[in-house]
Amino acid sequence: MVLEHYLERESIANVMRWMYSRGIVQVRGGNASIVLPGRREMLISPTGIPRPLVGPGMIARMTLEGEVLEGRPSSEWRMHAEIYKRQPRAVAVVHAHPRSLLALTYRGLWIDPGLLSEAGIQVTCIGRAPYIRPGTLELAQAVAGEAARGCNVIIMERHGAAVWSDRSIYHALDLLEAIEDLAWITLQLNR
């Protein structure tokens, strides 16, 4: 079977498996996407598939308006689509539920990207979204509003983080891991 955009699909599947192996998502949590040339369609991780089992043939394709062209897209597809609509530099989006980041925000602490040189260089700003029910248009619009401001990391209260990249999905994953590392360091410094 030959899949259109195979390399992009493989990249999304790889990112989903890596996020699970790093403990950044649960077995059915998190999602990742890549916007396709022309910016009218995206590839996005599937719903209902255990993250370590996601393969390229399971990646969904859909329009940014919500029409499903292939597969079963993540329930968070609206967040990805709204980021692509409102942040023209975004080429990939990764969303996860990092443990240390969630613990940090529950404690009312915030991240200083300057604690890690890589994060300080790559993070444009960290946006905040209040708790809004996952999968909703309201959450998607709140997150996309922060992305439109130029923040490439958006922390969602009691939910996790969304990260977009203007380079690649692997760069988005790198930013997400840097934010999770920063959260862990911050928690250690505030024991």
Q: Residue 114: pLDDT band by 50, 70, 90 thresholds?
A: confident
Q: Could you tell me what percent of the chain has a pLDDT over 90?
A: 91
Q: Is residue 126 part of a domain?
A: yes
Show the domain range for 135.
6-189
Q: Residue 120: pLDDT band by 50, 70, 90 thresholds?
A: confident
Q: What is the DSSP string of 8-25?
A: HHHHHHHHHHHHHHTTSS
CB atoms under 10 Å from CB of 22, counted, come to 14
Q: Residue 115: pLDDT band by 50, 70, 90 thresholds?
A: confident
Q: Could you tell me what percent of the chain has a pLDDT over 70?
A: 99
Q: What mean pLDDT do residues 34-38 have?
A: 97
Q: Is residue 69's pLDDT more than 70?
A: yes
Q: Is residue 170 part of a domain?
A: yes
Q: Are strands 126-129 and 92-96 parallel, antiparallel or unpaired?
A: unpaired
Q: Is residue 1 part of a domain?
A: no
pLDDT at residue 172, as a whole number: 98
Rounded Cα gap, residues 31 and 8, in angstroms? 14
pLDDT at residue 121, as a whole number: 87
Rounded Cα gap, residues 136 and 112, in angstroms? 29
pLDDT at residue 49, as a whole number: 96
Q: Residue 3: pLDDT band by 50, 70, 90 thresholds?
A: confident
Report the number of distinct structural domains present in the chain.
Answer: 1
CB atoms under 10 Å from CB of 90, counted, come to 24
pLDDT at residue 117, as a whole number: 83
Rounded Cα gap, residues 121 and 99, in angstroms? 23
pLDDT digits (tens, 9 = 90+) for 128-170: 999 999 999 999 999 999 999 999 999 999 999 999 999 999 9
Q: What mean pLDDT do residues 169-179 have?
A: 96
Q: What mean pLDDT do residues 2-20 have?
A: 94
Average pLDDT in the chain? 95
Rounded Cα gap, residues 118 and 155, in angstroms? 18
Phi and psi at 165, nearest 5°, equal: -130, 150
CB atoms under 10 Å from CB of 9, counted, come to 24
Q: Is residue 61's pLDDT more than 70?
A: yes
Contacts of 186 (CB under 8 A, 6+ apart): 104, 109, 110, 111, 112, 115
Rounded Cα gap, residues 112 and 168, in angstroms? 24
Q: Is residue 74's pLDDT more than 80?
A: yes
Q: What is the DSSP string of 55-110?
A: -GGG-EEEETTS-EEES-B-TTHHHHHHHHHH-TT--EEEEE--HHHHHHHHTT--
Q: Is residue 76 part of a domain?
A: yes
**The CATH number of the domain where 42 resides is what?**
3.40.225.10
Q: Is residue 20 a contact partner of residue 58, using CB atoms and an 8 Å limit?
A: no
pLDDT at residue 2, as a whole number: 61
Q: Is residue 18 part of a domain?
A: yes
CB atoms under 10 Å from CB of 59, counted, come to 28
